[in-house]
């Protein structure tokens, strides 16, 4: 299995910090809600962020804080998607909403604690777009969803997040256009491949977006050291290989 060696310390620190943040006395998030998580769920967003910000060289605590904000927004979306219209009690229906909203509260708290208000509009718009994707999925539930609509849903729910990871990572690293846009686009393509892998879209769709991501990485190779990005790419490939248990299973 591919291990993210270049930023293993940062990932472990992030995990420890988030575990501390969301512990209620002796209760952990896992005890609060049953949320299946794959290795990609736990690591891809922060790994991509650390890979892009590694181009800056120096590291500070704000990187861990920003990585945690991305993860809290991601967790909130995953938890909110547990809401169902099945025959359950109203308490059971509203509980994921409450826990998901708590995750968003943690994200806002981190923005405040880290004095990162210059990114607040980016995250507000991100949450708005992700919610649009969730609502679109609900609206088309039990209908024959076209591939075009599927792509739009996945773009809003997931790729909008990974695109912002690339965008803010480039901003932190003081990367200017056109390369900043390329890092944002790279995040988008990886997010689409990730989301498509979790859906019944088939391997060709996943490979389509991975191929686009690879083209961007090759274009960046002449301008930036992409070893950390290549590591993230290999980590992703390793986790979606045929021998890996599907996240949706």
| CATH number of the domain within which 62 lies | 1.10.600.10
Spatial separation of the C-alpha atoms in residues 222 and 18, rounded to whole Å: 36
Output the pLDDT for position 248. 35
pLDDT digits (tens, 9 = 90+) for 167-224: 999 999 999 889 999 999 999 999 999 999 988 777 888 999 999 999 999 999 989 8
CB 1 within 8 A of CB 238: yes
- State how far the Cα of 153 lies from the Cα of 30, in Å rounded to an integer: 27
Q: Is residue 225 part of a domain?
A: yes
The confidence band for 247, taking pLDDT boundaries of 50, 70 and 90, is very low
Please tell me the predicted confidence (pLDDT) of residue 24. 56
- DSSP-assigned states of every residue in 14-74: HHHHHHHHT-BTTB-HHHH------HHHHHHHHHHHHHHHTTT----HHHHHHHHHHHHHH
Helix (H, G, I), strand (E, B), or coil: what is residue 243?
coil
Has residue 101 been placed in a domain? yes
pLDDT band per the 50, 70, 90 thresholds, residue 245: very low
pLDDT category, 5, cuts 50, 70, 90? confident
Neighbours of 187 (CB within 10 A): 28
Question: What is the per-residue pLDDT for 122?
Answer: 95
Q: Is 176 helix (H, G, I), strand (E, B) or coil?
A: coil
Residue 158 has pLDDT above 90, yes or no: yes
Residue 1 lies in a domain: no
Q: Which of 200, 162, 184, 169 is nearest to 77 (CA)?
A: 162
The torsion angle over the Cα atoms of residues 70, 75, 77 and 83, rounded to 10 degrees, is -170
Residue 242 included in any domain = no
Give the dihedral of Cα atoms 44, 45, 46, 51; nearest 10 deg. Answer: 80
Residue 110 lies in a domain: yes
C-alpha to C-alpha distance for 53 and 235, rounded to whole angstroms? 18
Residue 247 lies in a domain: no
Q: Is residue 244 predicted with pLDDT exceeding 50?
A: no
- The residue segments making up the domain with residue 18 are 7-235
The verdict on residue 2 lying in a domain is no
pLDDT of residue 234: 92
159-181 tens-digit pLDDT: 999 999 999 999 999 998 899 99
Residue 33: other Cβ atoms inside 10 A = 16
- Grouping H, G, I as helix, E, B as strand and the rest as coil, residue 8 is helix
With 0-12 / 13-18 / 19 or more C-beta atoms within 10 angstroms meaning exposed / middle / buried, residue 133 is: buried
Whether residue 243 is contained in a domain is answered as no
- Give the burial string for 59-88 (b: 16+ CB within 10 Å, else e): eeeebbbbbbbbbbbbbbbbbbbbbeeeee
- Partnered with residue 24 across adjacent β-strands are 27
How far is it, in rounded angstroms, from Cα 154 to Cα 135? 12
- The tally of domains found in the chain comes to 1
């Amino acid at each position: 299995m591919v291990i993210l060696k270049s930023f293993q310390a940062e990932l472990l620190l992030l995990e420890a910090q988030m575990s501390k943040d969301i512990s209620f006395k002796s209760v952990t998030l896992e005890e609060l809600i049953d949320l299946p998580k794959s290795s990609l769920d736990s690591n891809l967003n922060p790994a991509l962020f650390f890979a892009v910000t590694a181009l800056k060289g120096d590291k500070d605590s704000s990187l861990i804080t920003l990585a945690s904000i991305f993860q809290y927004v991601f967790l909130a979306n995953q938890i909110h998607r547990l809401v169902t219209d099945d025959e359950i009690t109203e308490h059971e229906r509203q509980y994921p909403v409450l826990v998901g909203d708590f995750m968003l509260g943690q994200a806002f708290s981190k923005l405040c604690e880290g004095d990162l208000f210059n990114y607040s509009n980016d995250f507000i718009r991100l949450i708005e777009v992700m919610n649009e994707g969730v609502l679109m999925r609900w609206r088309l539930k039990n209908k024959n969803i076209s591939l075009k609509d599927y792509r739009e849903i996945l773009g809003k729910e997931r790729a909008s997040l990974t695109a912002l990871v690339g965008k803010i990572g480039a901003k932190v690293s003081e990367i200017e256009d056109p390369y900043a846009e390329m890092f944002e686009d790279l995040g988008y393509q990886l997010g689409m491949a990730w989301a498509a892998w979790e859906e019944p879209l088939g391997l060709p769709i996943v490979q389509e977006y991975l191929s686009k991501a690879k083209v961007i990485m090759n274009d960046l190779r002449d301008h930036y050291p992409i070893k950390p990005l290549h590591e993230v790419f290999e980590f992703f490939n390793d986790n979606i290989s045929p021998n890996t248990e599907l996240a949706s299973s």
